[in-house]
Chain A
């Protein structure tokens, strides 16, 4: 009985994963097609990968895209997590709700509106368009999702935990670094990854606020779409995806291994 149940749950997860990965496998398969579009598979070739490595502009754009994504996610996560802590400490329900509503405005606003108003904002402040303006915008639209991811974790945190720590004489910094942050870590991680996702996926906002030669992968893909998606882009996405996969899985298992080691070591000491 129990074993049967286990099989069912794995079947469901497999099903979800197959659906999630189907389009990506599709993209990667076509990056090896001899044709020039994603319509019919024409036989195996490495040509699109060769084209990709010869296209130094595309590679530069790719590196820039990652740079913006990482930097903006780190900063957005820091600002957003501290913001969520702040929101949680607000006691008046009215202020709290107002802050939450303000927080969500950028999530509900369509990208075009955000992009156009940021463009007006930057030009009014005479901020030159380019890397800086794109980075600022990405930080700006990633913050709300971080708050949404971190806030439930903070709300779950029992006040007794904090009070106990405070009673033991912990100061603010200790409270934050020893108690709060470790507790809300899963929320921070989700927030970071969501911010990364938002940044990598954004087209409309980046399009409006970029300039002076700076571009990201999404903007490049959208403008190339006029002539049909180039399979070179498939190749790049495929590579990027495999790299991320190896990094994530690798990092995870190294982490597991080392923490198991450490746990074993501390247990040993305690003995």
Chain B
């Protein structure tokens, strides 16, 4: 008993020390206090060097908190109890948040860098006149292949994936909209189709792909492809750019018949409190120099036109990640479908996964 009590006291002392230590570290790094900005973003989605620069220039300390899916972020913001100033949802999620009245409109008079954004990426259906959102990064969905196993140039279209010679060689990203989406695109159907019969046809076509599917995985795809674990993968361009950087045998193709075009935009959720800091940050990030630095660090495509011009030629002219206007014209942005329709997509997708 005496031993137990001394053990408890010992642990409590340790707890006290831990609390003191953590508190001390947080105070010295300035994450508490009035001059802060609470940024809620994807993991590792901003160059830490820029955050330091921002603090130096404006005095605002940025607290970064991270999420790993749009939906999880939505749940947190909807429930409240938090105080996020800025967050980075994708296109369809912006629409959904708008509809749920979770966003505050931008005060255009306080924004100085909006003219820097490429007009192709402004005024899109998910946010007309950019009332709520400022573009952050954009990209596509496509096919990554390894030229050790696949002849360069032999994969150009979605239908190429169905060839029997790719038995047990393809990895798919675990996302209902994207997997169902490329099946739809391969049939020249809209990637926002909601007609039950069309979705059933898309699932049947996916079931025929099953013998070729090695695994349905998430972020790990990147590691697998770098390790030459699979010959082919379907994934987003941002992930692909990181794979290509680590393995020179990999190539990225956006099928010309159509694919998904996605955006991650900065928005102000209704939980925001530090408006001066928010606008300082939005303006800071739209400066071409900063946007270019961020794009080089993250490896995604920047919507900031003068920033793109600042990037090294090899990146700027890379057709894999900055596709031609012709290809872009064939790309489709996901719409925020009604919950019942999203449910339809997921049920068909789950059936495909059960089958595979």
Query: Is there any pair of Cβ atoms, one from A and one from B, under 8 angstroms apart in the complex?
Result: yes
Task: Tell me which residues from 48 to 105 in chain B have a Cβ below 8 Å from any Cβ of chain A.
Answer: 63, 65-68, 72, 75-76, 79-83
**Does A162 lie at the interface of the complex (its beta carbon under 8 Å from any beta carbon of B)?**
no
Chain B: interface residue total (CB-CB under 8 A): 42
A70 adjacent to B11 (CB under 8 Å): yes
- Select which of B1, B38, B82 is within 8 A of A181 by beta carbon: B1
With known contacts A64-B22, A223-B42, A223-B68, A74–B81 Cβ distance under 8 A? no
With known contacts A70-B14, A119-B75, A123-B80, A37–B29 Cβ distance under 8 A? no
B15 adjacent to A71 (CB under 8 Å): yes
Instruction: Give the distance in Å from the alpha carbon of A228 to the alpha carbon of B224 in the complex.
Output: 11
- Select which of B22, B45, B246 is within 8 A of A67 by beta carbon: B22
What is the chain B residue whose CB lies nearest that of A203?
B68
**Does A128 lie at the interface of the complex (its beta carbon under 8 Å from any beta carbon of B)?**
yes
Task: Tell me which residues from 314 to 346 in chain B have a Cβ below 8 Å from any Cβ of chain A.
Answer: none
Task: Tell me which residues from 150 to 193 in chain A have a Cβ below 8 Å from any Cβ of chain B.
Answer: 177-178, 181-182, 185, 188
A228 adjacent to B31 (CB under 8 Å): no
With known contacts A56-B28, A67-B22, A215-B65, A224–B226 Cβ distance under 8 A? no
Residues of chain B within 8 A (CB-CB) of A59 are 25
Bits for B11-22, please: 1 = Cβ < 8 Å to A, else 0. Answer: 110110011011
Residues of chain B within 8 A (CB-CB) of A129 are 81-82
**Does B118 lie at the interface of the complex (its beta carbon under 8 Å from any beta carbon of A)?**
no
- Select which of A207, A211, A213 is within 8 A of B72 by beta carbon: A207
Chain A contact residues, majority secondary structure: helix
B81 adjacent to A225 (CB under 8 Å): no
Task: Tell me which residues from 218 to 242 in chain A have a Cβ below 8 Å from any Cβ of chain B.
Answer: 219-220, 222-228
- List, sorted by A's number, 11 A–B pairs whose CB atoms are closer than 8 Å: A39-B226, A66-B18, A74-B8, A181-B1, A181-B4, A185-B4, A213-B38, A223-B66, A225-B43, A227-B44, A228-B222
| A-binding residues in B (CB < 8 A) | 1, 4, 8, 11-12, 14-15, 18-19, 21-22, 25-26, 28-29, 31-32, 38, 42-45, 63, 65-68, 72, 75-76, 79-83, 219, 222-223, 226-227, 242, 246
